[in-house]
Amino acid sequence: MKRILVCDPIDEKAVARLRELGYDVVVKTGMDEDELVRTVPGFHCMIVRSATKVTARVIEAMDEMKIVLRGGVGIDNIDSAAAKAKGVKVRNTPGASSRAVAELTVGLMFALARHITKADASMQAGKWEKKKFKGTELAGKTLGLIGSGRIGGEVARMARALGMEVIAYDPYITAFEHGELVSSLDEVLTRADYVSLHVPLTDETRHMLSAEQFAKMKPTAYVVNCARGGVVDEAAFAKAVREGTVAGGAFDVYEQEPPADTPLAGLDSVIMTPHVGASTAEAQARIGGELVDIITEELPL
């Protein structure tokens, strides 16, 4: 019998479906590296989301593993080089959560433009501060995308429907059907009213937005990061907000998760959500369905 280790929560229907098909599915979440090393021997497939880190040490402990699956976009929490050297395949479900992340991105832009979170907190406190929360409209503003893959494309389509101008910087593509493809990151930074990141975390993208980049942005501009923690230098961003170099921003991902003593906390013009980009019922169902499809393809009984 093929054994599957589920290390992070996935849709319960997907777990039930795998068991119905005849797989031995063990759900064991919240393991640290030491426990993972003790647990992975004997399993043929491992399913993770974003919390579990599949390090080289974990991979070295594998003896029967055929495939590591990441339910979601990106595989930066998996040591792909170590997996390849071990002969373990790595796959993910990049399209399943694109719509959900894109909707959160646009939702956060609305929240920034109309001060929704602050107005709600004021009302919850029993206040009526109508004049305090004068906002702006997204229509007519320029959205600058950094990265224009599945999620970036979804965000662009929504933004254009709202009347926004969309520009995108992505050195790995030559055409972008949802807006204007620009030739440099600097052009995005200097033109955009909202800068939204949609890139993986790599050596190339780590802190790709830091003090030098913030200095080139409009003082009225916002940064939205629903991609990966670490692509934005949080300390430099917090400093830029405090000094008025940029207006503020919204973050769903952080350099450390859960964030401990993040410099973003307490900033009046920064909205924070706890990495919920893919956390919709629909996205979770799609992710679960794709995981089942991949397993039946790659690990037939």
37 pLDDT more than 90: yes
Contact 195/168 with Cβ under 8 angstroms? no
Q: CA 90 to CA 288: how far, in whole Å?
A: 16
The verdict on whether omega for the bond into residue 94 sits within 30 degrees of 0, i.e. cis, is no
Label residues 136-159 b or e (16+ Cβ within 10 Å = b): eebeebbbbbbbbbbbbbbbbebb
pLDDT at res. 191: 98
- 151-194 pLDDT, tens digit each: 999 999 999 999 999 999 999 999 999 999 999 999 999 999 99
Return the number of other C-beta atoms located less than 10 Å from residue 41's C-beta: 11
- 200-220 pLDDT, tens digit each: 999 999 999 999 999 999 999
Chain centroid to CA 99: 12
- 245-260 pLDDT, tens digit each: 999 999 999 999 999 8
Beta strands in 112-193 (DSSP E): 142-146, 165-169, 180-181
Q: Of 64, 129, 180, 257, which one is the catalytic site residue?
A: 257
* Cα distance between the two ends of the chain: 7
- The phi, psi pair for 210, rounded to 5°, reads -140, -165
Q: How confident is the model at residue 301 (pLDDT cuts 50, 70, 90)?
A: confident
Q: Of 99, 228, 255, 290, which one is the catalytic site residue?
A: 228
Residues 6 or more apart in contact with residue 242 via CB below 8 angstroms: 267
Three-class SS of residue 114? helix
Chain centroid to CA 272: 13
pLDDT at res. 152: 96
74 pLDDT more than 90: no
Q: Of 49, 275, 286, 290, which one is the catalytic site residue?
A: 275
Chain centroid to CA 152: 11
Structural domains of the chain sorted by starting position, each given as residue range(s) with its CATH number in brackets: 3-96+280-298 (3.40.50.720), 98-272 (3.40.50.720)
Read off the amino acid at residue 103.
E
Q: CA 273 to CA 261: how far, in whole Å?
A: 15
Q: CA 265 to CA 246: how far, in whole Å?
A: 16
Three-class SS of residue 145? strand
Q: Is 118 exposed, middle or buried, given 0-12, 13-18 or 19+ CB atoms closer than 10 A?
A: middle
Please confirm, yes or no, whether 207 is among the known catalytic residues: no
Please confirm, yes or no, whether 228 is among the known catalytic residues: yes
Three-class SS of residue 32? coil
Quick one: how many helices (H) and strands (E) in the chain?
Answer: 11, 12
Q: CA 40 to CA 63: how far, in whole Å?
A: 8
